[in-house]
A and B are shown apart, each in its own frame.
Chain A
Amino acid sequence: MAEQGLVLWASPNGIKLPTNFQFSESGIVNLNKQLKPSEVKKIVSAFDGQAYDMATEYIWARTLSRLRERISVFGAAFVTEMIGGSKEIGIDELSSVEVISLATDLGFINETAKLRFIQTNELINHFMSTKSDGEEMDRIDAEGTIKACIQFVLGYDSDNTPLEFAKFRDELRTEPLNPDSPSVKLLSISPYFYKRTAVRTILNLIKTTKGAEFERVSANAISVIPEIWNSLNSDDRWPVGFSYAGAVNDANNGLVKVLKALLMKVQGFDYVPENLRSMSFIDVANEILRAHYEADNFYNEPVVVKKLANMGSVIPAPAFNQCINALLCCKLGNTYGISWAAQNHVDQIFSSLSEDRWVYYFDSVFPFSENVLRKLSYANDSIQAQFRSFLRLNPFKHELVSVPIVRRIIKNAEQKEDAVVQKLSRKLFDELQSSDRNT
Chain B
Amino acid sequence: MENGGSSVHVHDVGATVIERILSEERVSFSESFQFSLLQFLSSICNYEEEGTKIPLNILIGNRIDSLLAYIPNKRLLHIVDGQISGNDLERNLRRLARFCIGDWTIVIDVREDVVAFSICKVFSGPTGFDLIDLIFDNRGQGQSAIFVQRSSRDEVTIFGSKSGCSKLQLRFARANYPVYSSIDSELIIDTTESVSNDNRDYVRKVARRLFRTIEKRVHGAILLLVKNNSVAIPELADGIYFQKPVDLAQAAIDLSNGSPNLASSEEFDAVSGLLFEMLNVDGITIVDDLFRIIAYNVFLRTPATEDRRLSGGARRRTADTLCSMTNPGIVGVYFISQDGQTFYKRKSNG
Q: Which residues of A contact B133 (CB under 8 A)?
A: 251
| Given the contacts A249-B125, A250-B128, A251-B127, A260 and B75 also touching, CB distance less than 8 Å | no
Q: Which residues of B contact A248 (CB under 8 A)?
A: 71-73, 124, 128-129, 134
Are B73 and A250 within 8 A (Cβ)?
no
A160 to chain B, nearest CB (A): 39
Q: How many residues of B contact A (CB 8 A)?
A: 22
Q: Would A245 and B139 count as touching, CB distance under 8 A?
A: no
Q: Which residues does chain B contribute within 8 Å of A273, judged by CB atoms?
A: 72-73
Docked CA distance A245–B75 (Å): 14
Are the C-beta atoms of A275 and B129 separated by less than 8 Å? no
User: Is A269 in the interface zone, CB < 8 Å from B?
Assistant: yes
Rounded to whole angstroms, the CA-CA distance of A245 and B137 in the bound complex is 16
CB-CB contacts below 8 Å: B62-100 with A: 69-75
CA of A257 to CA of B137, assembled, Å: 9
Taking CB as reference atom, which chain A residue is nearest B138?
A257
Q: Looking at chain A's contact residues, is the secondary structure mostly helix, strand, loop, or mixed?
A: helix
B123 at interface by CB-CB < 8 Å: yes
Residues of A within 8 Å of B259, CB to CB, are: 87
Question: Taking the nearest CB of chain A, how far is it from the CB of B98, in angstroms?
Answer: 24
Q: In the complex, what distance in Å separates the CA atom of A251 from the CA atom of B207?
A: 12
Residues of B within 8 A of A244 (CB): 72
Residues of A within 8 A of B243 (CB): none
Contact across chains for A249 and B74 when beta carbons are under 8 A apart: no
Contacts of B74 in A (CB 8 A): 274-275
Point out the residue from B70, B75, B123, B205 that lies within 8 Å of A250, measured CB to CB: B205
Docked CA distance A299–B152 (Å): 62
Partner of A260, one of B70, B128, B205, B209: B70
A261 / chain B contacts, CB cutoff of 8 Å: 139
Chain B residues near A276: list those with CB within 8 A: 73
Given contacts A87-B259, A261-B139, A275-B123, contact A251 B72 (CB under 8 A): no
CB distance from A231 to the nearest CB of B (A): 23
Q: Could you give, for residues 229-270 of chain A, a 1 whenever the CB lies within 8 Å of some chain B CB and a 0 otherwise?
A: 000000000000100110011110000110011011000011
B141 at interface, CB cutoff 8 A:
yes
CB distance from B100 to the nearest CB of A (A): 21
Which residues on A sit within 8 Å (CB–CB) of B128?
248-251
- CB neighbours (8 Å) of B205 from chain A are 250-251
Contact indicator per residue, chain B 118-145, by CB within 8 Å of chain A (1) or not (0):
0000011101110001100101010000
B127 with A250: CB separation less than 8 A: yes
A256 proximity list for chain B (CB < 8 A): 129, 134
- Judge if B216 is at the interface, Cβ distance under 8 Å: no
In the bound complex, how far is the Cα of B314 from the Cα of A158, in angstroms? Answer: 76
Give the contact-size bracket for chain A: 20 to 34
User: Is A272 at the interface (CB under 8 A from chain B)?
Assistant: yes
Closest B residue to A267 by CB, please name it: B69
Report Cα–Cα, A244/B74, bound state, in Å.
Answer: 13
What separation, in Å, do the CA atoms of A261 and B74 have in the docked complex? 20
Please give the distance in Å from B14's CB to the nearest CB on chain A.
33
| Contact residues in A for B129 (Cβ distance below 8 Å) | 248, 251, 256
Of the candidates B72, B123, B125, B141, which one forms a contact with A264 in the assembled complex, judged by CB atoms under 8 Å apart?
Answer: B141
Question: Which residue of chain B has the shortest Cβ distance to A277 in the bound complex?
Answer: B73
Contact pattern, B 203-242, Cβ under 8 Å of A = 1, otherwise 0: 0010011000000000000000000000000000000000
Query: What per-residue 1/0 map shows which CB atoms of B185-210 lie under 8 Å from chain A?
Result: 00000000000000000000100110
* A250-B205, A264-B141 known; A269-B124 Cβ under 8 A: no
A87–B261 CA distance with the chains assembled, in angstroms: 13
Instruction: Name the residue of chain B whose CB is nearest to the CB of A242.
Output: B72
Given contacts A256-B129, A274-B74, contact A249 B124 (CB under 8 A): yes
B residues in contact with A260, CB < 8 Å: 70, 137, 139
Cβ of B134 and Cβ of A272 under 8 Å apart? no
B69 and A264 form a contact (CB under 8 A): no
Chain B: CB-nearest residue to A86? B259
Residue on A nearest B66 in the bound complex, by CB: A269
Closest CB pairs A-B (n = 3) = A245-B72, A249-B128, A269-B69
Question: Can you name 17 extra interface pairs (CB under 8 A) apart from A241-B72, A248-B134, A273-B72?
Answer: A248-B72, A248-B124, A248-B129, A249-B73, A249-B124, A250-B205, A251-B124, A251-B128, A257-B139, A263-B70, A264-B139, A269-B69, A270-B69, A272-B70, A272-B71, A272-B72, A274-B73
Q: What are some 27 contacts across the A-B interface (CB < 8 A)?
A: A244-B72, A245-B73, A248-B73, A248-B124, A248-B129, A249-B124, A249-B127, A250-B127, A251-B127, A251-B128, A251-B129, A256-B129, A260-B70, A260-B137, A260-B139, A263-B70, A264-B139, A269-B69, A269-B70, A270-B69, A272-B71, A272-B72, A274-B72, A274-B74, A274-B75, A275-B72, A275-B74
